[in-house]
Chains A and B, each alone.
Chain A
Amino acid sequence: MSTLAGKKKIRPSTASLNRFGPGAQAGFHLALGLFALLCIIPFVFVVIISFTSEDSIRQIGYSFQPLGWSLQAYRYTFQLGDQLWRSYLNSFLITAVGTALSVLMCFLYAYPLFRKDYGHRSFFNFLSFFTMIFGGGLVPTFVICKSVLGLSDNYAALIVPMLFSPFHVIVMRTFFQTSVPMELIEASRIDGSGEYGTLFRIVFPIVTPGIATIALLVALGYWNEWFLSLLYINKNMDIIPLQYLLMRMQRNADFLAKNSAMLGADAARAAAQLPSQTLKMALVVFIVVPIACAYPFFQRYVVAGLTVGSVKG
């Protein structure tokens, strides 16, 4: 140990020195940079397709270097007009409300599970965990939600079925375990704070990175969700989110293509009315951009935690 310390002088008060050297840093940048590039290129590809001319797609398929460019897809997109903006708004609304409620529920459920002095801890732990493995299946869940809970043709149908995730509870509980010391809670109790007071005033600030992470995952889940709309929205098409608008186009095209022999001329007729591939890609762009922009907001809390650490470390 002493030899190591001799080689590299460590001054605990200055954080900047407790770091990997420039060689390792360069290696990190290389690995992470390459992977990050790999992650963004397909999206760039989607953007390129959305600006590709239809002729080019017919001739050479999807390509990074199309034969011609076109703004037609975006013009079409804006022609969707009301429908587009309404479903955009719905997506925001559903995501915002869903995320807020879901994170709160997750936070409240996970906290007692972390408290070793909580008597019903193992019961509720199991109650949640078991549902990750066993479920009733799609059809029975649909029946309960629709006919018992009245989740049909309303916003609640798009929010409630995803409100709670045992997976997130376990992750949240793990965050509590790794970052909240029991003594803190004990101390807070001695100070006369109630359970809710302790939770929101003392514990909450410590686990912000965890909450931000869960919020991010939940928000993504809501933003990407379309199957609930398919299941529960029959008549009230005014409340469908953007993702469903896109998926419906996708599924229409798939169905027509698969059944063209059975539908004969009808399939060709209907296919002629279908939106083009470029339009679908333009919608993907519409879907991805807002959530990608929201990402740094969540990230602030996660990375803020990081920097607090490094300054102190």
Chain B
Amino acid sequence: MKRFLSLILSLALILSLCAAAQADDLPTITIMFHGSNVSDDAAVLEKVNEYIADKVGAKLEVIWGTWGDFDEKATNALATGDSEVDMLFTCSWSADEFNTYAKNGFFEPLDEYMDQFGADLKAALPEALIQAATVEGPDGEKHIYAVNGFKDTATQNTWDINVTLLGELGYTVEDVQKLGFYGWGEIFAKAKEVKGDSFYPFLIEPAVAERMVTNSIIITGDSGSVNLLSYYLDPADVTKADAKYGDVILNKFATDEFAAFTKQMREYYLAGYIDPALAVAETSNDTRSNAQKTGSYLIGTQSYAYGYEYSAEVLSRGIEVQFLPCTDPYVDTTVSQGAMVAVSSASQHPEESFKFLALLNSDPALMTLLNYGVEGVHYTLDDDGLVVFTDARASYSPWTNGMGNVTLLPDTQAEGKGFREAFKAYYASGKAVPILGYIFNNEPVSNEMAALTNVAAQYSLALCSGAVDPETELPKFLKALDDAGMAAYLAEANAQLDAYLAEANAQLDAFLGR
């Protein structure tokens, strides 16, 4: 009888607890992240909800999008006006194209919330990041449409050099730099001689190599899968346009620089310096990452991030690696919109959502909790106060850079003490390119873009990797681009650029009181 009574009592207790939980009636806000590898978030979310209950006045739920799923899930949620997704990751390089969705009204403008609840957030983020998230909305006016993540905010393309092998061949990194892309033939020939016929010394991502050699940058808003447009930088001073062309957007494939690049690649390809698998879209990436992992290359391409040379991926290659930069780190529109979180305009709780984002991006405790997990469960602190992850981290690893302000996080043991400070200093040194903030609105020429993308996908990779002969293929390619409406596409991009520069200059003049 006693046991029965206690059962009843405990049941009643549970029920009343449930009732209590329902009674405090906080709204639930849901955030969708990118690139997560999370299978158990119960412990973390419990703590998070405890922490934010008063500060935000809402309960958090998370949809842990993975790399492969996120685009589909996010574009679906946006297109369907799904009110169950309040906040989502967005950026300018993926399918959930930030500028397009902002322009088409899918994101909530955050200006008012920023004024009301954003003091801490403003203090925590560099002004430039807030500027980068301020773009044109459906009303034609500029608004803040996302909370921009403070992460690696500059871009630096580097040649990834296998110094171990280079030494064996009797060369130094200085030699590589001195000879330059057009003069590496002799080093490659020697590598081939030493390492055998099945060794491919030049391990590149062809489209990236093209940008590195020609010093061109991506135009935000251009076709994402195959870039069609280029803007040439002065390699000596990335804040200036290349003197030869000036402030103008070019058909990437029609310049002398592109022709020279493809000619040289063809030479390298025919000499057997480039793995033919790199020239085919779907085999290219697997091949490259496999060769990279085993260190079987001489020179490769790498978009560099601070501290990368000390990371586990590089150290595990079993060779000495050095990254030879092509230019100083620079900030362009794409990298300045690299990882953000926006509030959906379908959200029923935009205010709570913003409050949450502001807190997440300014409060180290919350950021650490949501990113690294619970102390004592997912990580511990060593004697120096550095983070050491436990095995539980395997079931809770969100994508750090996709979450927000990573400078709030404590250093990990792997990174070493002082990492964040050095990280911030490095990225603070990033220089703005002349067209930072320019966003190409491709809507007026979206049909041309659709056709051009298909044409470029047909030729670009094969040409950039040297798999086909530019003598015959490049003229065909240019002709096909013309037929698909390149002239109209280019004219629209340049007209918008001119308008953008005129406005920027007018603002500058006003600022200087001229």
The answer to A–B direct touch (Cβ < 8 A) is: yes
Interface size class of A (residues with CB under 8 A): 35 or more
Chain B interface residue count, Cβ-Cβ cutoff 8 angstroms: 53
Contact A264 to B69, CB < 8 A, known contacts A231-B76, A257-B286: no
User: Is A57 an interface position by the 8 A CB rule?
Assistant: yes
A-contact 0/1 string along B70-83, CB 8 Å cutoff: 11110010011010
Contact A271 to B289, CB < 8 A, known contacts A139-B80, A264-B152: yes
Q: A247 contacts which chain B residues (CB < 8 A)? A: 68
Task: Tell me which residues from 236 to 259 in chain A have a Cβ below 8 Å from any Cβ of chain B.
Answer: 237, 247-259
Q: Assess the A57–B313 pair: CB atoms within 8 A.
A: no
Distance of A151 from chain B, by nearest CB (Å) = 13
Residue of A nearest to B306 (CB): A265
Q: A234 contacts which chain B residues (CB < 8 A)? A: 32, 63, 73
Q: Assess the A269–B76 pair: CB atoms within 8 A.
A: no
User: Is A294 an interface position by the 8 A CB rule?
Assistant: no
Contact A83 to B39, CB < 8 A, known contacts A252-B66, A270-B399: yes
User: Is B205 an interface position by the 8 A CB rule?
Assistant: yes
Contact A251 to B68, CB < 8 A, known contacts A57-B290, A139-B80, A234-B73: yes
Q: Assess the B399–A266 pair: CB atoms within 8 A.
A: yes
Task: Tell me which residues from 40 to 75 in chain B have a Cβ below 8 Å from any Cβ of chain A.
Answer: 61-63, 66-73
Q: B334 contacts which chain A residues (CB < 8 A)? A: 262
Distance of B207 from chain A, by nearest CB (Å) = 7
Q: Assess the A264–B305 pair: CB atoms within 8 A.
A: yes
A271 to B80: give the CA distance in the assembly, Å. Answer: 31
Q: Assess the A255–B76 pair: CB atoms within 8 A.
A: no
User: Is A273 an interface position by the 8 A CB rule?
Assistant: yes
User: Is B427 an interface position by the 8 A CB rule?
Assistant: no
User: Is B294 an interface position by the 8 A CB rule?
Assistant: yes
User: Is A260 an interface position by the 8 A CB rule?
Assistant: yes
Which of B76, B291, B312: most chain A Cβ within 10 A? B76
Q: B302 contacts which chain A residues (CB < 8 A)? A: 264-265
Q: Assess the A258–B293 pair: CB atoms within 8 A.
A: no
User: Is A7 an interface position by the 8 A CB rule?
Assistant: no
Q: B93 contacts which chain A residues (CB < 8 A)? A: 259, 262
Q: Assess the B312–A272 pair: CB atoms within 8 A.
A: yes
Q: Assess the B68–A264 pair: CB atoms within 8 A.
A: no
User: Is B285 an interface position by the 8 A CB rule?
Assistant: yes
Q: Assess the B69–A265 pair: CB atoms within 8 A.
A: no
Task: Tell me which residues from 285 to 301 in chain B have a Cβ below 8 Å from any Cβ of chain A.
Answer: 285-286, 288-294, 296
Task: Tell me which residues from 439 to 497 in chain B have a Cβ below 8 Å from any Cβ of chain A.
Answer: none
User: Is B373 an interface position by the 8 A CB rule?
Assistant: no
User: Is A142 an interface position by the 8 A CB rule?
Assistant: yes
Task: Tell me which residues from 251 to 300 in chain B have a Cβ below 8 Å from any Cβ of chain A.
Answer: 284-286, 288-294, 296
Residue of B35, B72, B73, B313 near A268 (CB, 8 A) is B313
Q: Assess the A270–B73 pair: CB atoms within 8 A.
A: no
Which of A235, A262, A272: most chain B Cβ within 10 A? A262
Contact A139 to B67, CB < 8 A, known contacts A261-B208, A270-B399: no
Distance of A159 from chain B, by nearest CB (Å) = 20
Distance of B110 from chain A, by nearest CB (Å) = 24
Chain B residues in contact with chain A, CB under 8 A?
A: 32, 35, 37, 39, 61-63, 66-73, 76, 79-80, 82, 93-94, 152, 155, 205, 207-208, 225, 284-286, 288-294, 296, 302-305, 308, 311-314, 316, 334, 338, 397, 399, 401
Chain A residues in contact with chain B, CB under 8 A?
A: 57-58, 83, 139, 142-143, 146-147, 230-231, 234-235, 237, 247-266, 268-273, 277
Known: A252-B67, A260-B285. 12 other contacts (CB 8 A): A57-B290, A248-B68, A248-B69, A255-B68, A257-B284, A257-B286, A259-B94, A260-B288, A262-B338, A263-B303, A268-B292, A272-B313
Q: Mind listing 25 A-B residue pairs with CB under 8 Å?
A: A57-B290, A58-B294, A139-B76, A142-B76, A230-B73, A234-B32, A235-B63, A247-B68, A250-B68, A251-B68, A252-B67, A252-B68, A259-B93, A261-B208, A262-B303, A264-B304, A265-B311, A266-B35, A268-B289, A268-B308, A268-B311, A272-B313, A272-B316, A273-B37, A277-B286
